[in-house]
A and B are shown apart, each in its own frame.
Chain A
Amino acid sequence: MLLIPCPWCGPRDEAEFHYGGQAHVAYPEDPGALSDEEWARYLFFRDNPKGAFAERWSHSAGCRRWFNAVRDTATNEIHSVYRVGEPRPVTP
């Protein structure tokens, strides 16, 4: 069970959180202007790296806030957490 540092509440058990998949996949400004392929990429395509991955979490059983985390998918180490709207921190 991960110990996830919620940027609002501090470190809490993973059981309090809900996973939200890859971060920084913004809803397109004008979906109507996208080709089917571009829209499909938004809907269905996500990165799946081994290593650092920026992803969304929601502290659903706590403050109910969404935030982003950079987690190493191979080791589960969380490099950093940051609030929605903040840029992805530079990680090694």
Chain B
Amino acid sequence: MRRETGGRIDRTRTLRFRFDGRDYTGHPGDTLASALLANGVRQVATSVKLGRPRGVFSAGSEEPSALVQIEAPFPEPMLTATTVELYDGLVASGLPGQGRLAAEPDPARYDAIHAHCDVLVVGAGPAGLAAARDAARTGARVILADERPEPGGGLLGTAEEVEGRPGAEWAAAVAAELAGLPEVTVLPRTTVFGYYDDNYLVAVERRTNHLGGAAPAHVARERIWRIRARRVVLATGAHERPIAFAGNDLPGVMLAGAARTYVNRYGVLPGRRAVVFTAGDSAYAAAFDLVGVGVEVAAIVDVRPEPPYRAEAAARGIEVLAGHVVTTALGDPEVSSVLVGRLTGTGAVTGERALDADLLLVSGGWNPVVHLFSQSGGTLRYDEALGTLVPGTSRQAVEVVGAAAGDVTAGVPYWLVPAEDYGTHFADLQRDVTVADVLRATGAGLRSVEHVKRYTTAGTAHDQGKTSGLLTTAVAAQALGVPVGGLGSTTFRAPYTPVSFAALAGRDRGALHDPVRVTALHEWHVAHGALFENVGQWQRPWYYPRPGEDMEAAVRRECRAAREGVAAMDASTLGKIDVIGPDAAAFLDLLYTNMMSTLAVGAIRYGVMCRADGMVFDDGTVIRLAEDHFLVTTTTGNAAAVLDWMEEWLQTEWPWLRVHCTSVTEQWATVALVGPGSREVLAGLAPGLAVGAADFPFMTWRETEVAGIPARVCRISFSGELAYEINVTSWEGLALWEAIMGTEVVTPYGTETMHVLRAEKGYPIVGQDTDGTITPQDLGMSWVVSKKKADFIGKRSFARADTSRVDRKQLVGLLPEDPELLLPEGTHLVEFSSLPEPPVPMLGHVTSSYRSAALGRTFALALVSGGRERVGARLYAPVGDGLVPVTVTSHVLYDPEGARRDG
């Protein structure tokens, strides 16, 4: 219920919200948890496995229990009620341990920012504020990030003083000083969730979440900060830890410091009559604060035989049960009474009796928040007196200050209240892992905390075991009879708290997910109804359906035009690299498997590049422009990799070669003009060019004007037909294409037709018909591997035993016996007409598969073990539930004698 006064909430304004279908009110400054407690709502959720009622356990991001789903204004799953700031119109519901993703797209914007600073301070509690102030006063560039909406940290939940002033007032004064300094950036609502190498930290700033439906659309909802800091100060505070006893998960069981925060910061009474169960001093302050606002404290149950502050408690009328423990919290569905008993010399419990209470505060001590420090590569040390892990040393420039450094109030480590049955002694509330489960793990022989974690799932939930991790370790250590410190800890990994994928994606989603590259002709393709295919980042026309045509019909028509008439394709995406220098020819001889230095100026040669292991890496054409000047084309998807490859060899192995390589892919627009009618079309557009087969032979190039545009025309064919590739500057690419289309005899075709045409001719696509384990010889291209050159990249590998195995996979053609059957690409090939018991030897797989207008049937290319020896043989392909027979053929299925290339 709400106190009459007090708390850092704005009582002049009322916020309406709805939880689990019921309407409530709260105030600005509330969290959903504080508002629910103020309205007397104690059961917030149910547990994931056991369906037990769960309430608010903490007052921060360490919350293991109060899991909620926001339903409106925008659905968001798996939030903790303790970190959701209340806003008007909030609609939420409690979760049974698992949330539901929103079905509709997230309308909000997300963003990212890169920042550098001298000092990054994480945490704006007293230690963090002091560190930021001290750093800022030196003129340093400071970023201060804190996960809460207001600086002050724990000070806001206590009545403690700092530097002689009330804590909250002091925090506000320091924050005001920082806000006035130009080199200081204060980031509230910002969780630093990852600490990486070289002081690179990543944070998420929640900018408009707290505004609910009033959030302005133009401000990013969340923003990822990627911060490179010269020095880091971690002032991340400490989490109070629970103690395991029966029923320690009931609503009404709450960490003592959290109850204190609800009283002081939110003006909320979390109960009427409390029992305080503690192993340390800090819970006394909580008890006193509660009494001060009218909560009856039935008793302070302290495990220590001689606790301090007995007199102070007595002065407030509070009974202290020294050397006592709480054995059981009773009640359904929430705490209504508490069983307490006295500890004997052996640690057993005797003389149990009941105390009426609706609130049970627990304090098992404090765990410094060492997550980020551990992520930094820092070591952790178990402090016997504090019973917790404290920071050791880190190789990075990081300091830990305040509670995070182990500056926490004194107590004795106490973990587990003994019992006959540990079935409701919860170690991990969120995973429903009990002490009985942990004992089952150690009983099964698990002796490492990492194994216990995986066996029980303790610490693997959404809260990543912030309150439960060390308790689980301690229970396991106790069961194994080893010191807690000897068992180590599980690994602290990013993110510290959950981060939405939307925030991590930022603006890099939808159309901005990856750059889109389009050619100079793109608009024409769009205007003429092309469908597009993504090839790397390029958008390439796939096919151009006419009204009523499906893909099959369109591709058949385009193929026929290329084989029987004249057709054109936008080939601008082919990678183009300008290679120039006195040693360019020698360099290309080393790079390609075949000889390039003998290429005459004016001529073109097809070439294959291999890796040093002899496997095909790329293929394309080499054009000799001058003695010292070549233009190399690469496959569309591999252009950047080929340039990298060239530069790597030039820089690291052959720095004496005088060669420069420059990407010119985007400087040129390229149109492939294909088909028996292409010569006539070209002659019409380029009256100055002698186009006869003798004047302009295959694999040569000419400079001329095409449609009045300066052009380099190459006689290259990737279809087997008479064909030209016309290159002009990108600026004039569209004019060239429109001139070609203006002849009204040329059919535009896309990549699908290109694939059919090239496959009919057995031309492989690197990366589709090869996979990094295929040599040129495997592709039936022994002719492209020079026997004359002293060396080239890959040469030595062709003499390895492995590359001459007779059972290597080789490129072959396949004809399904049913000429209408299209084999799915990737289909495996076997020798058997009915499958034997597995394992079934696989002979290879289908790499390309199409319907061919020219062949009047379907066909495929495949990599088949010993394939060339199998030509004429019948193999079987599992398709659907059956095995379909296919006949192995040469990979060249169309015009094997090459009669068509001169038209």
Contact = CB atoms under 8 A, between A and B. Distances in A.
Interface of A: 1-3, 13-14, 18, 20, 26-28, 30-32, 34, 36, 39-40, 42-44, 56, 58, 60, 64-66, 75-77, 84-85
Nearest to A3: B198
A40 B791 contact: no
Contact of A43 (B613, B651, B799): B613
B663 to A, nearest CB: 11
B648 interface: yes
A57 to B, nearest CB: 11
A27 B797 CA distance: 13
A39 B796 CA distance: 8
A43 B797 contact: yes
Contacts of A20: 648
A79 to B, nearest CB: 12
Nearest to A20: B648
A31 B644 contact: no
Contacts of B644: 18, 58, 60
Contacts of B613: 43-44
B342 interface: no
15 contacts: A1-B196, A3-B228, A14-B197, A18-B644, A28-B796, A31-B791, A31-B796, A32-B790, A39-B800, A42-B612, A43-B612, A43-B613, A65-B651, A66-B648, A84-B655
A66 B649 CA distance: 10
Contacts of A30: 791
Given A3-B198, A56-B652, A77 B800 contact: no
Contact of A1 (B197, B796, B801): B197
Contacts of B651: 65-66, 84
B90 to A, nearest CB: 37
A44 B644 CA distance: 20
Given A31-B791, A75-B395, A3 B197 contact: yes
Nearest to B614: A43
B377 A26 contact: no
Nearest to A23: B652
A14 B801 CA distance: 40
Contact of B653 (A27, A32, A43, A65): A27
B795 interface: yes
A8 to B, nearest CB: 12
A32 B791 contact: yes
Contacts of A42: 612
Interface in B610-629: 612-613
A85 B796 contact: no
B800 A26 contact: no
Contacts of A44: 613
B800 A40 contact: yes
Contacts of B653: 26-27
Given A58-B648, A65-B651, A66-B652, 15 more contacts: A1-B226, A2-B197, A3-B228, A13-B228, A32-B799, A36-B799, A39-B796, A42-B612, A43-B613, A43-B797, A58-B644, A60-B644, A64-B647, A77-B395, A85-B655
Nearest to B114: A13
Interface in B195-230: 196-200, 226, 228
Most buried by A among B395, B653, B795, B796: B796
Contacts of A65: 651
A3 B612 CA distance: 31
A36 B800 contact: yes
Contacts of A18: 644
Nearest to B200: A1
Most buried by A among B612, B647, B651, B791: B651
B795 A31 contact: yes
Interface string B353-381: 00000000000000000000000010000
Interface string B786-802: 00001100011101110
A2 B652 contact: no
Contacts of A58: 644, 647-648
Contacts of B228: 3, 13
Nearest 7 CB-CB pairs, A to B? A31-B796, A3-B198, A1-B200, A66-B651, A76-B197, A27-B653, A2-B197
Contacts of B197: 1-3, 14, 76
B200 to A, nearest CB: 5
Most buried by B among A14, A20, A31, A36: A31
B392 to A, nearest CB: 15
Interface string B57-82: 00000000000000000000000000
Contacts of A36: 799-801
Nearest to A1: B200
Contact of A39 (B200, B648, B655, B797): B797
Interface string B498-516: 0000000000000000000
Contacts of B377: 75
Interface in B635-663: 644, 647-648, 651-653, 655
A50 B292 CA distance: 59
Contacts of B800: 36, 39-40
A3 B851 CA distance: 53
Nearest to B613: A43
A40 B799 CA distance: 11
A88 to B, nearest CB: 14
Nearest to A72: B395
A19 B197 CA distance: 16
B335 to A, nearest CB: 47
A7 B119 CA distance: 26
Interface string B774-811: 00000000000000001100011101110000000000
A14 B226 CA distance: 13
B199 to A, nearest CB: 8
A45 B790 CA distance: 25
Given A36-B800, A64-B647, A1 B198 contact: yes
Interface in B22-51: none
Contacts of A40: 800
B691 to A, nearest CB: 41
